[in-house]
Structure 1
Amino acid sequence: AVNGIDIESIGVNDVGDISIFPGSLTRSLSRIEYVLRNIFKKTNRRVIIIGGEHTLTLASFRAYAKNYNDSCIIAFDAHMDLRNEYLGSRYNHATVMRRIFEKEKNAKIIIIGARAVSREEEQFYKNINEKNNIKVFRIIGDEVKVDEINSIENEISTCKNKYISIDIDILDPSYAPGVQTPEPLGLSPYTLLKILNRIVDINTYAVDLVEMTPIYDPSETTAFISAKILIELIAMMSEVVGLSVKRCW
């Protein structure tokens, strides 16, 4: 990893896939929440979830919030995902943060990198009374100023138990073309990792990475980038919790 940690010296346990119910979103979300709730309950290990369409975060974060009080979800996303419905459905990648806001009233939602926002989402964000519950940091392009990163870090410092959700479309399509809803003027992998390195700490207990879409990724560029981000996150998390690991330098 870039911080010098030998990733092979970190103990990682792959617990396998969660079986879902094709054609039944409700049952699938219930299964995801049930399995992850038990995982969070039985272990104090850090958990990494790999998706999948972003709707799964509704289930995984609800499981997280039931086990960790004062939970905060930090979403890296090109979109706010605050629509009430999209294409006739209230449960999909464009509505997931709206549903989390409704169902987890005590949770704080921080959205980083939104650069494609609908009029509906903008109006909703302006009108909500619970201003402390949702905070959006818009980032256009890859030139993120130091004071912007400081503002993000200061906002996140108020969070007690952190869940990080990375929609891979946070990256510019030149780096990650294999997504459902690509949006130009995104972050580079380096900038994303730089921000993550500032916010991952001992209170970061879960991370998901979602929206990597193999059918749109014939070169596997997005898959390689996603894997690299996960490797770096594992190294960051192992370092902040003080694991005894080997270093390459």
Structure 2
Amino acid sequence: MAHPPVPDPVGPTDASRVPRYAGIATFARLPRLEDVPRADVAIVGAPFDSGVSYRPGARFGPAHVREASRLLRPYNQVTDVEPFAAQQVADAGDLAVNPFDIAEAVADIQRGAEHLTRDGTRLLTIGGDHTIALPLLRNVAAQHGPVAVLHFDAHLDTWDTYFGAPVTHGTPFRRASEEGLIDREASLHVGIRGPLYAREDLRDDKRLGFAVIASHEIELDGLAAAIDRMLARLGDRPVYVSVDIDVLDPAHAPGTGTPEAGGLTSRELLAMLRALSQVNLVGADVVEVSPPYDHAQLTAVAAAHVAFEILSAMAPAR
């Protein structure tokens, strides 16, 4: 059930009073959810990486991204939006997730998302590996029906199983499509690149309801053309945005589990996210930040800015 925006949002801690490097590391130094009456958008961590197929470490992603987000300021000069003044954004902490049982962890995340969104609050979830997208989509689809999934990633994540396991970070969108959670006429991958197992991967992906804007197409056709294709595909549907940080080239985001050469620049990704201001965003996640492989917080800074642009796109006009 949606509610009108909070009339007088509480914003980040004033950096002229408390230095940005001090205090509790909430996202962008925002208030904790427990310290505000209600929130229009809640930021929540999902510290889970038991679904990875290669390098681990994304369970430490929420804390790493929060730490890097200390430097964010409250005004978006490109879109002329104050995302923390236009809506109440609060940090809900981390979900309690079982690291030893994927099925139970998925249930934990879905249950936590249901609790946080029961009054119409939208979620921006910081992962964690991409497995978390499945329970988050289950929650969003229960509220809005099938949603257009806008998926930024180097990989399709529509594979069937891995070592016989049906729920991993490489399968969430196949399961979501099979369960009827996504709008098969409006869902889209952006930034796909790198070798695949076989041609059938692309055929399966199309059958499951996804169009693709590959990384090399953005290079060949230009960013403006890619944005036009993206917006045309999404239309006026409710949209869920899922950003795997490995959509970025490893030069911009080395701290991730399955890096691929030839990715988007951070400038390109942020520009595409800024184009979503007129889209009906019902939820989002930023996943696969793995601090053990990061350098000088490059990946965490990129992820924090990705989250900031998503929050800016979610902000209502005031």
TM-score grouping bracket, smaller chain normalisation: 0.7 to 0.9
Distance in 2 between residues matched to 1:26 and 1:195, nearest whole Å? 33
Identical counterparts, % of pairs: 27
1:14 to partner: Cα distance: 1.2
| Cα-to-partner distance string for 1:72-95 (whole Å, 9 max, x where unaligned) | 111100011122122443221222
Residue 179 of structure 1 and its aligned partner are, at CA, apart by: 0.3
CA contact (8 A) 1:76 1:166 kept: yes
Letter in 1 for 2:276: I
Structure 1 residue 211: Cα displacement:
0.2
Task: Name 1:215's counterpart in structure 2.
Answer: 292
Residue in structure 1 matched with residue 253 of structure 2 by the alignment: 176
Scaled by the length of structure 2, what TM-score is found? 0.68
Q: In the alignment, is the contact (CA less than 8 A) between 2:276 and 2:313 conserved in 1? A: no
Q: Which of 116, 125, 128 in structure 1 is aligned with 2:194?
A: 116
The alpha carbon displacement at 1:218 in A equals 3.9
Give the direction of change, closer, same or farther, for the CA distance of 1:199–1:235 in structure 2 (3 Å limit).
Answer: closer
**Which residue of structure 1 aligns with residue 275 of structure 2?**
198
- Superposition deviation, residue 6 in structure 1: 4.0
| DSSP 3-state at the match of 1:150 | helix
Residues of 2 paired with 1:127 and 1:84: CA distance? 9
- 2 CA distance for matches of 1:83 and 1:229? 26
2:158 is aligned with 1:90:
no
CA-atom RMSD in angstroms: 2.2
Secondary structure of residue in 2 paired with 1:13: strand
Q: Quick check: 1:228 aligned with 2:305?
A: yes
Flag the 1:8–1:182 CA change in 2: closer, same or farther, 3 A.
same
Equivalent residue of 1:195, what SS? helix
Note if contact 1:55-1:91 (Cα within 8 Å) is conserved in structure 2.
yes
- 2: distance between equivalents of 1:105 and 1:5? 31
Distance in 1 of aligned mates of 2:294 and 2:267: 20
Q: CA distance change for structure 1 residues 87 and 163 in 2, over 3 Å: closer, same or farther? A: same
Cα distance change on mapping 1:231 and 1:57 into 2, 3 Å:
same
The residue that corresponds to 1:187 in the other structure is: 264
**Judging changes above 3 Å, is the alpha-carbon distance between structure 1 residues 95 and 70 closer, same or farther for their aligned structure 2 residues?**
closer
Equivalent residue for 1:138, pick from 198, 211, 214? 214
Q: TM-score under structure 1 normalisation?
A: 0.86
How far apart, in 2, do the equivalents of 1:183 and 1:152 lie? 22
**Superposed counterparts of 1:66-77, under 5 Å:** 66-77=142-153
Aligned to 1:13: 90
Question: Cα distance, 1:200 vs. partner?
Answer: 4.0
SS of residue paired to 1:178: coil
Give the match for residue 63 of structure 1: 139
Aligned residues: 237
> In the alignment, which residue of structure 2 is the partner of 1:99?
175
Structure 2 vs 1, CA of residues 217 and 84 (structure 1 numbering), >3 Å: closer, same or farther? same
Q: Which structure 1 residue ranges, 5 or more long, are not aligned?
A: 245-249
Contact kept, 8 Å, 1:53 with 1:211, in 2: the verdict is yes
Q: Structure 1's 106 and 139: CA in aligned 2 closer, same or farther, altered over 3 A?
A: closer
* 3-state SS of 1:136 partner: strand
